[in-house]
Amino acid sequence: MKIIRETTDWKSSPYPVKNHDYLVSDAAEFCHAMRKEGSDKWEKFETRKRFSKSWRKFTTLKESLPKEFVNPYMADPWSNKTYNSLEGFM
């Protein structure tokens, strides 16, 4: 596993785009967690996600792998108490 930081120049984008840090497999095929720009907290995915470096630029960071993570990046849909959850039908 390694930590990479996106360094893509987004000046041509009509809206602001932030560059984040990613915890990826050694081959950089899968992403396991991310740290948003301006934050020091890592958000771990429930399952690894496919990761593509195409059309973007990255640099490898020399820092230790994170040991603590905050709530998952994607909210758990089963804990949602809206009409879309099963609890609305019970």
Q: How far apart are the first and last CA of the chain?
A: 43
User: Sign of torsion, CA 61 62 66 70?
Assistant: negative
Query: Where along the chain do its domains lie?
Result: 2-89
Q: In what order do the strands lie in the sheet with 43-50?
A: 43-50, 30-35, 21-24, 2-6, 58-61
In this predicted structure, what is the pLDDT of residue 46? 83
User: Confidence band (pLDDT; 50, 70, 90) for 35?
Assistant: very high
In this predicted structure, what is the pLDDT of residue 45? 87
Instruction: Tell me the pLDDT tens digit for each residue of 46-90.
Output: 888 999 999 999 999 999 999 998 876 555 556 655 555 555 444
